[in-house]
Every structure is written in C-alpha cells, then in structure tokens.
Amino acid sequence: MSTALHWDDLVPMVENKQIDTVLACIVDMQGRLLGKRFHARHFIDSAWQETHCCNYLLATDLEMATPDGYQATSWEKGYGDYIMQPDLKSLRLVPWLEGTVMVLCDVLDHHTHDRVPHSPRAVLQTQVERLREMGYEAMMATELEFFLFEKSFDEIRKEGYRNLEPISGYNEDYHILQTTKEEHILRPVRNHLYAAGIPIENSKGEAEAGQEEINIKYAEAMLTADYHTIAKHAIKEIAWQHGHAASFLAKWDHNRVGSSSHIHQSLWKDGNNAFYDSSDELGMSSLMKSYMAGLLKYAADSTYFLAPYINSYKRFMKGTFAPTRTIWSVDNRTAGFRLCGEGSKSIRVECRIGGSDLNPYLALAAQIAAGIAGIEEGLELQPPAKGDVYKGRSGSIPQTLTDARDKMIRSKMLRAAMGDWVVDHYARCAEWEIEEFNRIVTDWEVARGFEKA
C-alpha cells in the first residue's frame, strides 16, 4: 500500500472535475510540508515535470527567518531557486480537503539538476542507497505522539500560548471512554489517512491528559518518512477543521510527560528479516547485533537528528517513559533502545530517544548511518541491561541542544556517511536555534528574579 493514486487515475479525475487542486510539497528542515497549490489542469499539462521554490526554504527556522551563516544560500548569494521535481510515486488523495491531491517533491539544484544534499528526502535517500549496495532494505515504523487541546490554534496563539487546556482531564493511556469523546477528531484522522494510502493501524490514548498516539504499518524507510510527514500534517489540519489544536511539541508543560516518536527498525534481505536468527537465545542475528552496537556507539552523535530543538531536551526525565541513557534492554521501556519481538521473525530494535518534534527523514537517516557503521566496523553488542535503567550512570543522552550539536559536528561517522556539507548545514541550524533562545528573556526568569534578585 504505497500510494492511493496513480497518474493514469489522476488525469480523468481532473478531466471530469473531481480533482481541481494539486498540492506540490517539499519537506523542509523542520519536517514540514511547504509548497504550492496548483490548478490541477496546469499540473497535468506541465507542472508534473517540475516547478520552483526559493532556496531559503532549506535554510530557515520554525519562524521562517533567514539566518546568516549557511553555505547553501544567503543574502549575499541572492536567495535563488531550487527545482521541485514531483515524485509521482507519492501522488495521493487528500480526502480531508475537497477536490485535492498531494505529491511530494524532490529538491534539485537549479543549475546541475543534482539532488540538493541537505534536503531531508535526499539525506535519507543517500542512506537507503548505501544499504541497498550492501544488499539490504531498511524496514521501519515511527510512532506519532501528540497532544490535543480544547481550543483552536488561532485562539491559543492570540492568548499567548497561556492557560493551555488539553482536550481531556486525566491520563487516557489505552482509555476507551475518554478516547470515545475524541472520536470526532481521531476517527476522521484514521479514515482520511487510510483513504490517502497511508496504512494506519490504530489510534490510542497515551499516558497523559489529552495525549494521543497514531501507529502506522511498517514499511520501507522512505515510505515510512513520507507516511509520518503526511500524517503529522493531516492531524494538525483535521484538528483545526474541528476547532481544536494538535501539538507535536516534545514537552509543552514541565509538569506533564512529553511526546515521543519511537523508531522501530530492522534490515531485510530477499523478503526475510535479516535481524532474525532462530538459533540465537533472543533470536538476534549477528547482523542485528552489529547494527545495534552501531546505534549505541553513535547514539550521542545522532541525538540532534532525534531531538532538534531546545525544548526537545526537557523531555528526557526519569520516570516518564522517556529515556535518559543510551542503553539497550529486552522489552524494557526505561532504556534508550528496546529489543522488541524477541525470538520471533518480527524481531526489531526500537529507538526510544526521538521526540515528536523530529524530522523523520533526518532521524531515520541517522539511525541507518549509525547501524551501517556498526556493521562495517564489526562491532560487538554488549549484554542487555536489566531492571530500572534510569538508575544507571553510564551512557547518558546529551542533556542540551548545545551538547548534541557539538557531538554531531565532531562526528567522524556522520561526516563519512552524510558528508561535511550536510553535517555543517544542520550544525548551523542547531546554532541558530541556540542563538535565538539565548537572546530571549523567558517568563521563568522574570517570575523568578523580578522581585527576588
């Protein structure tokens, strides 16, 4: 189930006026969909081949600012164009919008027509291609956790993002009664996404008031990232259509648990799970052990791609089901990496470090790169941790964005896997986020020191 719409189906739908709008979208550094709305007639006549966008879209921040310091583009270079080349394999209906289809675009250099290397889709494509040269396919899945709020985005923004009230009043983890009250949002989310060709498995309440989770079926790495990005976008739009806000901020309140995006992963070859070995005590092949050892060795190097903002690091708190250590364990939710499906053909590793604010293309690419390094280096996997991993002291996850950025920029593994250009580009992205935060006076500082300092 890779797509819900083929080109040969789109043309007659435009001819008979079932479809009048085509969303042509790129994925930006923050994992958002940006692009243009085409009249469908123009799209099938010519724009299906290519269109253009300003290159600042891959050198900006959440506020769409134009920071300096990027090699790719700047005011000095004049902010030129990129080519948006529609990937027609990603063409799909957008059932929650009338008469609309969507296509994801690859980003190409305007002059050479080469892939722009720091484009999130290109970053992941590079790692997928490395794996295929080794004879493997990455099969992955991401869990999407988020919060629903009583009020709409517009109301919340006008009130300064204060007095936020989640849609429910109590922890709704697996709670059927409370999630029934939210079915006016989650039912159309499930059904619209399924109709858009995204293989939704289920939705459920998560471990906090107003917290939800959407699970999507395992797929090839590129499809998984596409599914994640479109689903996240759809959840926000559908919540907005019903007068509510959906937030993927990793930690919106220090008194409440954060939202994660766990990444499940395994390597497959010739239609079989190459991580499985029936003769092993836990069912783990030697390939899996080396791959996991790579994930562990390079977890700190890769953390930025799992936790890209200042706020991301507020989530790593003991006793909240968010990890604090880069340790692996067997079916243990206190560890940074959890072995799932032990002893079965569905054996896989779950990375629990990533927050709901991650860009799935970058996060999956970093995981694959670390795993490949483990295989190439022939790393040996240490025995699993047991018990409450929160009580340990070794293998800590970077505690701040500054720490994660420093480890990323010094990573020989990432530079070899992704290239200096990509690492330096995203290091500047992290630097800008830190610079912007450091210049702001927060409510906490004022309340703490206004009278008492």
For residues 157 and 194, state if they share a domain: yes
Q: Please give the pLDDT value at position 218.
A: 95
Domain membership flag for residue 52: yes
For residues 141 and 100, state if they share a domain: no
**pLDDT tier at 2, thresholds 50, 70, 90:** very low
The secondary structure of 108-165 as a DSSP string is: EETTT--B-TTSHHHHHHHHHHHHHHTT-EEEEEEEEEEEEESS-HHHHHHTTT-S--
Write out pLDDT tens, residues 12-64.
Answer: 999 999 999 999 999 999 999 999 999 999 999 999 999 999 999 999 999 99
Q: Please give the pLDDT value at position 3.
A: 60
Domain membership flag for residue 1: no
- Angstrom distance (rounded) from CA 41 to CA 64: 30
For residues 146 and 286, state if they share a domain: yes
For residues 345 and 250, state if they share a domain: yes
- For residue 376, what is the domain's CATH number? 3.30.590.10
Q: What is the dihedral of CA 241, 245, 250, 255, to 10 degrees?
A: -160
Write out pLDDT tens, residues 156-175.
Answer: 999 999 999 999 999 989 99
Domain membership flag for residue 102: yes
Distances (CA, A) of 261 to 37, 73, 287: 29, 31, 25
**Helix pair angle (420-438, 401-409), 10° resolution:** 160
- The secondary structure element, H or E, covering residue 246 is strand 245-247
Domain boundary among 115, 148, 180: 115
- For residue 103, what is the domain's CATH number? 3.10.20.70
For residues 62 and 146, state if they share a domain: no
Q: Which residues contact 438 (CB under 8 A, 6 or more apart)?
A: none
Domain membership flag for residue 299: yes
Domain boundary among 67, 89, 115: 115
For residues 345 and 409, state if they share a domain: yes
Average pLDDT along the chain: 94
| Interval 113-129 mean pLDDT | 96
Domain membership flag for residue 54: yes
For residues 324 and 385, state if they share a domain: yes
Domain membership flag for residue 131: yes
- Angstrom distance (rounded) from CA 408 to CA 310: 15
- Angstrom distance (rounded) from CA 154 to CA 236: 12
Cβ(349)–Cβ(340) below 8 Å = yes
For residues 97 and 147, state if they share a domain: no
- Angstrom distance (rounded) from CA 26 to CA 10: 20
Write out pLDDT tens, residues 343-385.
Answer: 999 999 999 999 999 999 999 999 999 999 999 999 999 998 8
Neighbours of 148 (CB within 10 A): 21
Domain boundary among 115, 149, 180: 115
Half-sphere exposure of 323 (CA within 13 A, CB side): 32
For residues 402 and 363, state if they share a domain: yes
Write out pLDDT tens, residues 263-300.
Answer: 999 999 999 999 999 999 999 999 999 999 999 999 99
Q: What percent of the chain has pLDDT over 70?
A: 99
Write out pLDDT tens, residues 425-442.
Answer: 999 999 999 999 999 999
For residues 133 and 91, state if they share a domain: no
For residues 312 and 209, state if they share a domain: yes
Residue 450 has pLDDT above 60, yes or no: yes
**Which of 303, 275, 273, 278 lies closest to 291 in space, CA to CA?**
275
Domain membership flag for residue 380: yes
**Helix pair angle (120-133, 221-241), 10° resolution:** 150
Domain that holds residue 40: 7-115
Domain membership flag for residue 176: yes
For residues 213 and 263, state if they share a domain: yes
> What is the number of structural domains in the chain?
2
